[in-house]
Amino acid sequence: MLGIKSIQEALNISQERGHDLVEVAPNASPPVCRVLDYSKYRYEKEKQRKESRKHQKGGHVKEMRFRTKISEHDFETKQRAIMRFLENRDKVRVSVVFYGREMDHRDLGHRLIDKLKEKVMDLATIESAPSMFGNRLVLMLAPKK
C-alpha cells in the first residue's frame, strides 16, 4: 500500500521497480492501481481461469425414475445405474412418480428415497432435499468432490 499518488508518481515508482502500473479497479474513487509484472499477472489469471474451468462439468444431469411399487431387483438395477452416473461425475435427478391414488401414500415414495440415499451416500451429496413437483417426488444428487 503506497497510498494515494498522482499518475506520474505511480508511473515513476513502477519504472524504478521494473514493473508495470496496472489499473485493477477503474470505477473506484480514486481508481486503484497495482505495481506488478503484467505478463505474469495475465499468466496467473489465465491459469486460474483454466483451473476453474477444469473443475466445472457441463451441466450433465441424468434422471432415474422410480415407481412406488418397484421390485427389489429393479430397484437394485437402477441403484447401480445411479452409482455409475455418480462415478462418471454426473448429477442425478431421482424422481418417484405417483399415479392416481398413489398420491395418498407419499410416505412410500419418501421411504424409497431414504433407502436409495442410504445406499449411495458414499458416492453422492444431496444437492436438494426431496420435494414434490406435481405428481413427482424429486431428489437431486451430486457426486462427492
37-7-25 Cα angle (round to 5): 60
Tell me the per-residue pLDDT of 54-101, one tens digit each, with 9 for 90 and over: 776 656 899 999 999 999 999 999 999 999 999 988 899 999 999 999
Copy the grid coordinates of residue 75. Answer: 430397484
Q: Which pLDDT does position 59 carry in this prediction?
A: 61
136 and 68, same domain (yes or no)? yes
What is the CA 37 to chain-centroid distance, rounded?
A: 33
26 and 66, same domain (yes or no)? no
Helix (H) or strand (E) holding 115: helix 106-120
Q: Which pLDDT does position 113 carry in this prediction?
A: 95
Q: Which pLDDT does position 4 carry in this prediction?
A: 86
Which range of residues forms the domain containing residue 87? 61-143
* Mean pLDDT of the 26-37 span: 88
76 and 137, same domain (yes or no)? yes
| CATH number of the domain enclosing 84 | 3.30.110.10
Copy the grid coordinates of residue 125. Answer: 451429496
Higher pLDDT residue, 1 or 59? 1
110 and 69, same domain (yes or no)? yes
Tell me the per-residue pLDDT of 109-130, one tens digit each, with 9 for 90 and over: 999 999 999 999 999 999 989 9
80 and 133, same domain (yes or no)? yes
Q: Which pLDDT does position 41 carry in this prediction?
A: 87
- Is residue 106 domain-resident? yes
136 and 74, same domain (yes or no)? yes
76 and 44, same domain (yes or no)? no
Q: Which pLDDT does position 144 carry in this prediction?
A: 87
40 and 106, same domain (yes or no)? no
Distance between CA atoms of residues 83 and 25, nearest Å: 46
Mean pLDDT score of the chain? 90
